[in-house]
Amino acid sequence: MKKILAYLSPEKYASLFDLIVGHDAGADVIVPYCNITPEDVRDMVHSCIFTRHPDDLKNTAIFIGGHDVNLGEQMLDKAVEAFNELPDFFRVSVAVDPDGAYTTACGCAVKVKKAMEGNLQGKKAVILAGTGPVGQRVAVLLTKEGCDVTLTSRKKGRAEQICALMKEKYGADVKPMEVADDASTEKVVSDKDIVIATGPEGIQVLSKSIWSKFPQLKVLADVNAVPPAGIEGVGIQDDCKELEGRVAIGALAIGSLKMKVHLKLVEKLFEDNKTIFDLEEVYAIANEMA
């Protein structure tokens, strides 16, 4: 029986990236549905589950893509609501990873944990320019590992809004801080063990002249693959590489693990018909793949 992946996206076009990875991960058929709203998801779920015998439903799965992570999570919630209206055997597995935010964040968090020898309990971390989808979820994951996490934005209100959202959605206590210049950047990293840059492509958010002042800094991780680096001195291929007494983790090292996680995620969609691959499930895969 063919493995069929229903790919749901609120965008005009399906992500070619996601479609290629889906095929490489073993899906025989990928059916992309675009311009999907959360209200459409219930009908999509019914189309998936009523077309095959319950014993065969592990061969059908749903992957939610697109660019808007919050919208993707709303679509996931609607899928779960649709399942809960039905008997337990009417299920298909579902994953959500808009713009690769889940898989990238999980790859980053696992690399950082590895650099800290597997122990993040009680460590202090800052996510610079962290209000985007990846930064938010890295913050959540590190918090759940026992880190004291600060998240920064150029606007205090934006940082506070995002931290409140993470508290509501994930129960994560993350500290907001406005960082708009060198002085505030220096202040926020001055007592940290870990610095992670998740800002826009091609924008440096931490200079070497600042981070080199603080010998207690142990890990510098940067998800930006477009020069200049988000953290000056961190190379895109650095994979837990020594950098003047610190451990440097570059975007391609994070991206390499992200790809492994993405492939394994799609594979696991077809192992059973009952798993919801939320952030914690994807993080578990990343830990297995590291």
| Residue appearing with tokens 């589950």 | 49
Q: Which residues of 72-98 are buried (b: 16+ CB within 10 A; e: fewer)?
A: bbbbbebbeebbeeeeeebbbbbbbbb
Query: What letter represents residue 27's amino acid?
Result: A
* pLDDT for position 190: 97
Q: Please indicate whether the domains covering 4-96 and 103-254 agree at the CATH topology level.
A: yes
Does a cis peptide bond (omega within 30 degrees of 0) precede residue 228?
yes
* pLDDT for position 268: 98
Domain 4-96 has CATH 3.40.50.10280: yes
State phi, psi for 247 to the nearest 5 degrees.
-105, 120
Complete edge-to-edge strand list for the sheet that includes strand 276-277 = 29-33, 4-8, 60-64, 93-96, 276-277
Where is 6: in which H helix or E strand? Answer: strand 4-8
| Residue appearing with tokens 């459409």 | 40
State phi, psi for 203 to the nearest 5 degrees.
-120, 120
Domain ranges of the chain: 4-96, 103-254
**Cα 263 from Cα 66, distance rounded (Å):** 17
C-beta separation of 185 from 179 below 8 A:
yes
* pLDDT for position 180: 94
Q: What is the pTM for the complete model shown?
A: 0.96
Give per-residue pLDDT as tens, 198-213: 999 999 999 999 999 9
* Topology annotation, domain 103-254: Rossmann fold (3.40.50)
How many C-beta atoms surround the C-beta of residue 67 within 10 A?
14
* pLDDT for position 290: 86
* pLDDT for position 237: 97
Q: What is the mean pLDDT of the chain?
A: 97
What parts of the chain have a pLDDT lower than 70? none
* pLDDT for position 77: 97
